[in-house]
Amino acid sequence: MNTALSKMRLETERLIIRPYVESDLMESFELMQDPELFTYLHFGVMSQESYQKLFSWLINSYQTPFDASFKYSFAIFKKETGAFIGWCGVGVLDFMSPEKELYYLIGRNDWGKGYATEAARALTAYSFEVIGLDRIYAKADPRNKGSLKIFEKLGFTFERELQGLSGDDEECNGELLYVLAKEQFEK
């Protein structure tokens, strides 16, 4: 594992964010069985076999150094109960490589409690302070008012509506792209 990631453990007021370990597989898989979570995402509910392959890929991604084209996803737990409630990540924005994007998902039972904002803020700080990014992007479907509100709270600024993307990235057309510079986040 990347040395910095092997030590990663972000603690916020209510959350613990850390790299996945093998024992997180079933909790993570079960959370991802809710089709409503995928309303604004470009994937859906997976079979257990498919999810196990994805999960192995997620864990293997921690071998990738910060100066390479990485995609990291991390587990989010409630500090008080230890319950797995979602994930957040940072990684290459495929249609703008080598730029990086922030992403996250919180289980429906925990929507509206500020956990996504709390996790996104902690991972954004980590991305600037430890990974060494100068800026980070985020994108969302314009109907996803929750994510747009999170971007605003963190200080992201609207850059443009995505258009003209093709191939694997075509499904991102119509989404709104936001950017946050390290200097803006530190203010």
Cα separations (Å) of 4 from 122, 135, 137?
A: 16, 19, 22
Domain of residue 121 covers 3-186
Q: pLDDT in tens for each of the 187 residues of the chain?
A: 788 888 899 999 999 999 999 999 999 999 888 878 877 777 777 888 999 999 999 999 999 999 999 999 999 999 999 999 999 999 999 999 999 999 999 999 999 999 999 999 999 999 999 999 999 999 999 999 999 999 999 999 999 999 999 998 999 999 999 999 999 997 7
Number of domains in the chain: 1
Give Cβ neighbours of residue 66 (< 8 Å, ≥ 6 apart).
2, 4, 131, 132
Task: Read off the CATH number of the domain in which 172 is found.
Answer: 3.40.630.30
